């Protein structure tokens, strides 16, 4: 299978670049599923029902989230009605929504997407390792599902790496989100699991991790809060990851980063 994962969409700039580049991505790579992290899609904080529907209408199969999932008021009711919008699986029992979803492509192949949030320098949620373990007890890669993707929304690179190594050989792809900076460590582990510490963001990189520069600089230099953070509104850059898997085992055979847009050096998989 061929899977596209796009990192955190930040504000209108991020939504615009995803909308602009998705047709080319579909044409050149012909992915079997597209997953994005949308937790910053609504003005940098959370996601709304309207934006979720717009992203799904583009042909995106699953929207994952993270610590900002509840920032928009309407999302608590909507997330219970749209299974393709997921939140971290290790929120306490009774939290609205679900932490995983299975989507099928046109050939009936099944992709399981699990969203989990780290605890280092983050909210103290339930054990992320145990939460993913419990979900994987329900599914077997290469048997009941054809591809398993785990979005680890975490601050610490060590926690993301530890999760990926822990899951090596049991899932197809572990990808980190939340840091908004694409890392240069795309690789396939010994057991066949593809990994990248952070997919990066889809947004304006002439910023401080997607936010207009003025207020973050003010807080760092003066230690005072001024205005609210607001997303940078310049031209966006799309960042993501392309993963290809073995059709029998579901394990990864290829991983390459994707960068398209105005700011970062572009890179795109050649599958010709």
User: Which CATH number is 180's domain given?
Assistant: 3.60.21.10
Helices (H), the chain: 11-29, 49-57, 75-78, 128-136, 157-167, 214-222
Mean pLDDT by 10 residues, the chain (272 residues): 98 97 97 98 96 97 97 95 98 96 96 98 95 97 97 98 98 98 98 98 96 92 85 96 98 98 95 82
Phi, psi of 29, rounded to the nearest 5 degrees: -110, -20
List the one residue out of 61, 8, 60 whose CA is nearest residue 39: 8
Query: So what's the pLDDT on residue 194?
Result: 98
Three-state DSSP class for 218? helix
CA 181 to CA 257: how far, in whole Å?
12
Cβ count within 10 A of residue 138: 11
Domain carrying residue 31: 2-261
Whether 270 is in a domain gets the answer no
**What is the C-alpha to C-alpha distance for residues 145 and 104, in angstroms, rounded to an integer?**
9
Residue (of 5, 66, 54) closest to 33 by Cα position: 5
Question: How far is the C-alpha of 77 from the C-alpha of 89, rounded, in Å?
Answer: 17
pLDDT of the residue at 268:
97
In a domain, 146, yes or no: yes
Residue 268: inside a domain = no
Residue 238 is assigned to a structural domain of this protein: yes
Residue 68 annotated as catalytic: yes
Query: Residue 225: its pLDDT value, please?
Result: 81
The first and second tokens of residue 125, run together, are 């949620």
Residue from 68, 153, 178, 180 carrying the catalytic annotation: 68
- Per-residue confidence (pLDDT) for residue 201, from 0 to 100: 98
Any domain includes 172:
yes
User: What pLDDT, on a 0 to 100 scale, did the predictor assign at position 271?
Assistant: 87
Q: pLDDT value at position 236?
A: 97
Residue-wise DSSP of 143-162: TTBSEEEEEEE-S-HHHHHH
Residue 269: predicted pLDDT: 97
Q: Beta-carbon neighbour count of residue 3 at 10 Å? A: 27
Q: Which residues pair with 177 in a beta bridge?
A: 153
Residue 80 lies in a domain: yes
Is 272 within the bounds of a domain? no
- Residue 91 is predicted with a pLDDT of 97
Domain count for the chain: 1
- Cβ pair 85, 74 in contact under 8 A: no
Whether 63 is in a domain gets the answer yes
Q: What is the pTM of this model?
A: 0.96
């Amino acid at each position: 299978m061929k899977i596209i994962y796009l990192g955190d969409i930040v504000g209108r700039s991020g939504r615009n670049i995803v909308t602009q580049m998705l047709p080319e991505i579909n044409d050149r790579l012909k992915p079997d599923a597209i997953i994005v992290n949308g937790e910053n899609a609504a003005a940098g904080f959370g996601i709304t029902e309207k934006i979720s529907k717009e992203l799904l209408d583009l042909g995106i199969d699953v929207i994952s989230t993270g610590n900002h999932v509840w920032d928009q008021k309407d999302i608590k009711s909507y997330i219970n009605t749209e299974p393709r919008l997921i939140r971290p699986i290790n929120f306490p029992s009774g939290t609205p929504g679900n932490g995983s979803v299975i989507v099928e492509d046109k050939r009936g192949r099944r992709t399981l997407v699990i969203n989990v949030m780290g605890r280092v320098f983050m909210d103290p949620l339930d054990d992320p390792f145990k939460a993913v373990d419990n979900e994987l007890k329900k599914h077997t890669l290469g048997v009941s599902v054809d591809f398993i993707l785990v979005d680890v929304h975490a601050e610490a690179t060590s926690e993301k790496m530890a999760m990926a190594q822990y899951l090596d050989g049991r899932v197809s792809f572990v990808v980190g989100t939340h840091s908004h900076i694409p890392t240069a460590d795309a690789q396939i582990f010994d057991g066949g699991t593809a990994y990248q510490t952070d997919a990066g963001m889809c947004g304006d990189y002439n910023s401080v991790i997607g936010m207009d520069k003025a207020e973050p600089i003010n807080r760092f230099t003066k230690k005072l809060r001024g205005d609210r953070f607001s997303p940078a509104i310049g031209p966006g850059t799309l960042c993501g990851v392309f993963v290809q898997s073995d059709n029998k085992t579901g394990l990864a055979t290829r991983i390459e980063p994707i960068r398209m847009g105005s700011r970062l050096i572009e890179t795109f998989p050649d599958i010709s």
